[in-house]
Structures are given as structure tokens and as C-alpha cells.
A and B are shown apart, each in its own frame.
Chain A
Amino acid sequence: MTPEKIAAQTMADKPEIMVRVENLKKYFPITRGLIFSRQVGAVKAVDNVSFVIKKGETLGVVGESGCGKSTTGRSILHLEKPTAGKVFLGDTNLASLNTEEMRLMRPRMQMIFQDSYASLNPRHSVGKIIAEPMVIHGVQNFNKRHARVMELLDLVGLDPNHFDRFPHEFSGGQRQRINIARALALNPEFVVCDEPISALDVSIQAQVVNLFQDLQQKLGLTYMFIAHDLSMVQHISNRVAVMYLGKIVELTNRKDLFHSPLHPYTQSLLSAVPQPDPETERTRHRIMLEGEVPSPANPPRGCVFHNRCPLEQPVCSEEIPEYREVRPDHFVTCHLADDKGGSRIPV
């Protein structure tokens, strides 16, 4: 199925699309030679990815380290220039914009990073950090900016009187709240959250996740929520994309993904997630994957998952499977997937 069709399909049931990604690719060149450097290969960090994010929803993106989930997020915001492919924010094709036009688009889309300490300038006070996007994007009046900073601090659950403190005076969870406040300063529509809670303690994670959900309700935000914790992604997302070696292997709504996953990788990933329940843990069947994720510089031929797949067929190592809609709104990249359980790993 072509990306246009995918987009048209999704348009039909809900007209408002926030972000549309078509055949996005991001390759990092591998070069050799210092003076006469030449390209000898490429790390295919993101390889031909297409999907849409609807307005007001949360798209969760999960996968193991190195699968390209962060690069996808960064490429969508054009923090990394994509090698190929198109990204539409609303109706605007971001690839067609020049630097100035891009700058004017930035307030509409923001990012929250994993490392809350590294992403805050240690020499700036919190007030200055949160006001900075407004300075850059032309809110000239100091009092106006200050009022907005106060409002934002209150919104994310921090004490507005702490605006003159520095990042090191806050705990990890509070620093992540500062990051959120800064991202919201310009009233964005779309926020990419790149593992925003992975560095936090369990009890703090829940606070921040609840904050994300409250803000979404209050401000009508659209999230792309990147994480490796499947339980948390299930909790926060409306739809979930599973990535493996630069490709989306499965994308569907939350219920279908967690209750009837079609791709063998999703099935094994779900079975590997430890559950905080001793009874389930003892009785459940684990699908053990052999080996580890191959290098994205030298991905396997055919289906990228075939060398670890328990259902491998001859066709899997020869032909690259198509990213197709197997069931309504359920996209899978697998030769064997069909509506009758052809890709189900027997227990």
C-alpha cells in the first residue's frame, strides 16, 4: 500500500491530521579516509517510514536501543535533516521550507529530551530558560514574558517563586517539569517526547506521566511519545508504532497492539516485558529471541527480523516485506501476517 493511500485511508475516518510522514529516511554516512574521505556505507537509522499522527492523540513509539525511534522523532522536527522523504505538519511540507520559514514553524512543534539536566543550561535561571523561546520568537515585552513564565511554572506543578533558581537546585522530576514548561512556552500543537521519563524513579515517573496527560487534556496537545518501556507506552498512547532496525514493523491502536499483535517481533517483545505480578510472571509463556539486534550498518537481507524470527520462511530472507494494512488501521511489515493468525507464534 502506498503512503498516499495510507494517508487517504486515515483521512476518511478522522479528517484532522497533525503530522504526516511519508517514506522518511535518515542515513548516516560511514566514511573512510581522512583527507580524501569517501563514503563506504551508511547506517540506515530510519529506513522508509510512513505514518500519520492525528490531532490530539498520542502516538507511542517503542523499540530497543538503536532501532531508530529517537532519530525518527528528530527527523520529523528537522533537527536532523532527513535523507529522503516528506514530513507534513498540518498542510505544510517541512522539507520545502527555507531556514527562515522553518524558524517560523518551530513554535508549532517542540521537543522534550530524555536527559533533563543536559538539556538545561546550568548557568541560566529557570525563569530565563523558560523565557528563552519567547525571546527568540519575538515576545518583546518583559512583563508579558515574566507573567507567562509564572503561568507555565504553575501549569507544570512547580512553585512560581522558584523562577530565579538554577537547574541544579531541582530534582530530576522537577527538571523534567522545567523542560516541559519550556517546550510549552510558545503554545505548540505538536510535542515530540523523547524518552522523557526513562531517567526518572518509578514514583516520579507516574507524576510526570500524569502531568503529560493533564496537559494534553487542557491544551489539546498532540504527542509523539518515544520510550522503551512498553507498559508506560501502553498507558499513555492511543496508537503505538513498534520499530526494529530502522523500520516500523507494526502500527495500530493500543488495544489491538497489546491484545492481538501480528508481527512476531511485537509478540516476543510483549512476552519479554516483566510484569509486577508474581502469578502472571510464573505462568506466562516467554518467547525467547535468539541473539541480538543486528547492526543497522549491515542489516540482514530481506526482512530485517528474519534471522531472529521463530517463524522464518524461505521468502523472508529473499524479499523485503511490504508495510501494509492487514486489518483496518493495523499496519504490519511481515510476509506471513494475515487476518487469520498466519504470523502468530505458537505457544
Chain B
Amino acid sequence: MSTILKVQDLVTRFYTFDGVVHALNKVSFDLEEGETLAIVGESGSGKSVTMMSLLHLLPVPPAKIEGGQALFYENGNAVDLLQLSKAEISKVRGGKIGFIFQDALSALNPVMTVGRQVSESLIEHLQMGQEEARKRTIKLLDYVGIPGASQRFSNYPHQFSGGMRQRVMIAVAIACNPKIVIADEPTTALDVTIQAQIVELTQRLQKELNISIIWITHDLGVVAGMADRVLVLYAGCPVEIAPVDELYNHPSHPYTIGLIGALPRLGEVVSKRLVSIEGSPPDLLEAPHHCQFAWRCQFAFDRCWQEIPQSREISPGHFITCFYDVNNGRPCNDA
């Protein structure tokens, strides 16, 4: 496996009337070929902003990407996505990187048939002719599990149910054989049985088309079964990144521990009191000069209030951004 995307020290801020919103503070991660990386965090943690920054989808101003790089590797060459011009990035979007949004009804154009929306990117990116694009679109719609694809080609988005619309979005995302698909909360608006269908579909596509997936979610349950690695964000800072088993079995950042403890498990006979993280996320208008989680952290000590912790590796592939060693119950010396 080789790295396909390498994001380093990404800093994004919003310049608003109320002040500067520090949306992302040095977010780094990499994505291997064929892997699923889950980005987990609460609202306002910066998980969507990360992806929108990479693809130049944020309105500038107020948004401004103030640092970092995002290297996209293709055939041995690396391109920094953040440095691309408008014309160059629109070739990447929808072409090499597909995107699935949370709200399929507002992401799809309501006055354009579903078929045209899928074939649009084929014509645009792969220079297909109308007829060829139509044939491929029908194949794609069929492939993502839309019954009667050739009849549904000329239907409008409102004629589809929520789950079916999400399937159309997936067809748009994979139309041009992308290397990476970014899914931003693709199942959050769906019911649990439909969610299971979409998750299964995504996993099948990944296996068959060998795409890398970045799955953004707030739900630690959904990604447990499908992700290879998980990145946890809190208030714009990466707090923990680890292989999926390692993260769920040995969470090591106090925030991740709290997050996993806050979830009830199905099948528990006696329910224990849920572990809750007291307080609420910090105001992002303040520039971080210490650990962002310190306010809510039960282990916080002097150092947490004085400097910003750096990411450190505690076991192979398992990084946390914390001064405290939870496993030994004492502050960590070598951080």
C-alpha cells in the first residue's frame, strides 16, 4: 500500500465580524490506497471544514487557509491540492476525488433529472459523448442498486426516497473512477435500516473499485465495522489517530475515552450510568494556547494549561495529542 493523500499541519480560520474562528489548528493525517479513514468528531470539531478546505469548497472570505499542505499522489507525482488554481481543482473535484454529502436533497439539483446530474460529470471530466454518457449513467445507477435504472434516468430528485437519493449521490461520486471518495456524514439523515444498506453498498464499491474512502461522521458506531483507521478531532485539533481495533479497545486520549464511554451498548442487561464528559466544547474565537480539551478533562494538570500538546506515538500507528499517560495514570515525561 502506498500513501495517496498526505495532509500536514492544515490551518483554516474564518474571519467574521465577531472575530477570528480558529476552525482547524494543525490537522495532519495521511490516507493509504484502498483504505477507509474515518474522521470522527462532534459538531464544530472541524471534520467537514477539513475536507472542504482540501477541495477549495469554503467561501473565501470569510474562510482562509493559513497553512499546511495536502499532497495528492498520482503515478508517483505529488500535487499540493491547496496550491492548485481554480481550473485545476475543478478537474480534481468530481474527477479524481468524489464527494458524497450528508443532505442528498439539497446537494442534488432539484430542476435537473438525476440522469443528467450523473452524466454531467462524465461529459465534463471524461469527455464522453451524450449517448455514451447516458449508457454509462444507466450502468452506474444500476450498479448502486437503483431498480429500473433506465426508467429512473429521467426522474427528478424529489421522486426518489432518502436512501435512493443517497445512492444517486454515490453514483455521481464514483462516476469518473475517482481515487478517493470523501463521504461527509452520508448516513446521518437516514434511518437505521437504510443506513445499513448504504454502508454495505459503500463497502462493496470500495472492494470492487479499489477506492480510498474518507468517512466523516459523529457516530462511533457506524465506522467501527468499516474503517481501517480512525482520526478523532476536537475543537479543530486532532486528538487521536489509531487503527480501528486499537482505538476502540485502548482509547488513550481522555476525550476519546469519554466519547466511547458515553455510548450505551446494545444487549447490556444491566445498564450502567453513562460516562459523560462535563461541560461543552470551547469557543473557537479564542486562539488556542493550551490543550483545547483541558476545560473538560478530568486529568488536566498544570502543563495542559501552559502549552499546546504535540502528537506522540504511543504504539505503532497510534498517535495521541495529550500530555497525560492514561494507562499508567500519570503525566507523561517524554512528551
Is B192 a contact of A272 with CB atoms below 8 Å?
yes
Is A274 a contact of B280 with CB atoms below 8 Å?
no
* With known contacts A203-B277, A206-B275, A276–B224 Cβ distance under 8 A: yes
Is B193 a contact of A258 with CB atoms below 8 Å?
no
Is B245 a contact of A279 with CB atoms below 8 Å?
yes
Is A276 a contact of B260 with CB atoms below 8 Å?
yes
Is B280 a contact of A65 with CB atoms below 8 Å?
no
Any A CB within 8 A of the CB of B196: yes
What count of chain B residues pass the 8 Å CB interface test? 47
Contacts of A231 in B (CB 8 A): 221, 263-266
Is B265 a contact of A210 with CB atoms below 8 Å?
no
Contacts of A173 in B (CB 8 A): 280
B:14-65 near A, CB below 8 Å: 42-43
* Nearest-CB residue, chain B, relative to A265: B193
Least Cβ distance of B249 to chain A in Å?
8
Contacts of B263 in A (CB 8 A): 202, 206, 231, 276
Classify the secondary structure of A's interface with B.
helix
Kindly state the separation between the CA atoms of A128 and B274 in the bound complex, as whole angstroms.
32
Is B193 a contact of A278 with CB atoms below 8 Å?
no
* With known contacts A210-B273, A235-B271, A273-B221, A278–B195 Cβ distance under 8 A: no
Interface size class of A (residues with CB under 8 A): 35 or more
Is B225 a contact of A201 with CB atoms below 8 Å?
no
Contacts of B219 in A (CB 8 A): 202, 274
Contacts of B164 in A (CB 8 A): 292
A135-159, CB under 8 A of B: which get 1 and which 0? Answer: 0000000000000000000000000
Contact of A275 among B162, B221, B275 (CB under 8 A): B221
Contact of B278 among A65, A207, A286, A288 (CB under 8 A): A207
Any B CB within 8 A of the CB of A7: no
Any A CB within 8 A of the CB of B154: no
A28-67, CB under 8 A of B: which get 1 and which 0? Answer: 0000000000000000000000000000000000001100
* Nearest-CB residue, chain A, relative to B225: A281
Kindly state the separation between the CA atoms of A289 and B196 in the bound complex, as whole angstroms.
9
B:211-238 near A, CB below 8 Å: 218-222, 224-226
Contact of B248 among A232, A258, A278 (CB under 8 A): A278
* With known contacts A272-B196, A276-B260, A210–B274 Cβ distance under 8 A: yes
A201-235, CB under 8 A of B: which get 1 and which 0? Answer: 11111110110010000000000000010111011
Is A292 a contact of B271 with CB atoms below 8 Å?
no
* With known contacts A207-B278, A209-B274, A269–B193 Cβ distance under 8 A: yes
Contacts of A210 in B (CB 8 A): 273-274, 276
* With known contacts A210-B274, A269-B193, A276–B265 Cβ distance under 8 A: yes
A158-174, CB under 8 A of B: which get 1 and which 0? Answer: 00000000000001011
Any A CB within 8 A of the CB of B191: yes
Any B CB within 8 A of the CB of A95: no
A262-280, CB under 8 A of B: which get 1 and which 0? Answer: 0000001111111111111
Contact of B274 among A206, A270, A276 (CB under 8 A): A206
Least Cβ distance of A123 to chain B in Å?
21
Contact of A292 among B42, B163, B221, B258 (CB under 8 A): B163
Kindly state the separation between the CA atoms of A205 and B263 in the bound complex, as whole angstroms.
9
Is A275 a contact of B268 with CB atoms below 8 Å?
no
Any A CB within 8 A of the CB of B194: yes
Contacts of B266 in A (CB 8 A): 230-231, 234, 258, 270, 273, 275
Kindly state the separation between the CA atoms of A235 and B193 in the bound complex, as whole angstroms.
20
Kindly state the separation between the CA atoms of A255 and B162 in the bound complex, as whole angstroms.
32
Any A CB within 8 A of the CB of B149: no
Contacts of A5 in B (CB 8 A): none
Is B218 a contact of A278 with CB atoms below 8 Å?
no
B190-205, CB under 8 A of A: which get 1 and which 0? Answer: 0111111101100000
Is A286 a contact of B196 with CB atoms below 8 Å?
yes
Any B CB within 8 A of the CB of A259: yes
Kindly state the separation between the CA atoms of A293 and B222 in the bound complex, as whole angstroms.
21
Is B258 a contact of A203 with CB atoms below 8 Å?
yes
Kindly state the separation between the CA atoms of A92 and B201 in the bound complex, as whole angstroms.
51
Contacts of B172 in A (CB 8 A): none
B43, B192, B265: most-surrounded residue (chain A CB, <10 A): B192
Is B259 a contact of A282 with CB atoms below 8 Å?
no
Is A204 a contact of B220 with CB atoms below 8 Å?
no
B140-164, CB under 8 A of A: which get 1 and which 0? Answer: 0000000000000000000001111
Kindly state the separation between the CA atoms of A259 and B275 in the bound complex, as whole angstroms.
24
Is B221 a contact of A276 with CB atoms below 8 Å?
yes
Least Cβ distance of B267 to chain A in Å?
6
Contacts of B221 in A (CB 8 A): 231, 273-276
Kindly state the separation between the CA atoms of A38 and B245 in the bound complex, as whole angstroms.
60
B160-195, CB under 8 A of A: which get 1 and which 0? Answer: 011110000000000000000000000000011111
Apart from the given pairs A203-B262, A231-B266, A234-B264, 17 other A-B contacts in the complex at a CB distance below 8 Å? A64-B191, A64-B193, A174-B280, A203-B277, A205-B262, A206-B261, A228-B192, A232-B264, A234-B267, A235-B271, A258-B266, A272-B193, A274-B195, A276-B263, A281-B226, A286-B196, A292-B163
Q: List 28 A-B contacts (CB under 8 A).
A: A64-B192, A65-B191, A173-B280, A201-B42, A201-B218, A202-B220, A202-B263, A203-B42, A203-B277, A204-B42, A204-B280, A206-B262, A213-B273, A231-B265, A235-B268, A236-B271, A258-B266, A272-B192, A273-B266, A274-B225, A276-B220, A277-B224, A278-B244, A279-B245, A281-B226, A286-B196, A292-B194, A293-B191
10 smallest A-B Cβ distances: which pairs? A281-B225, A274-B221, A235-B264, A206-B262, A206-B276, A64-B191, A201-B42, A272-B196, A206-B274, A203-B277
Residue positions of B touching A, CB distance < 8 A: 42-43, 161-164, 191-197, 199-200, 218-222, 224-226, 244-245, 248, 258-269, 271, 273-278, 280-281
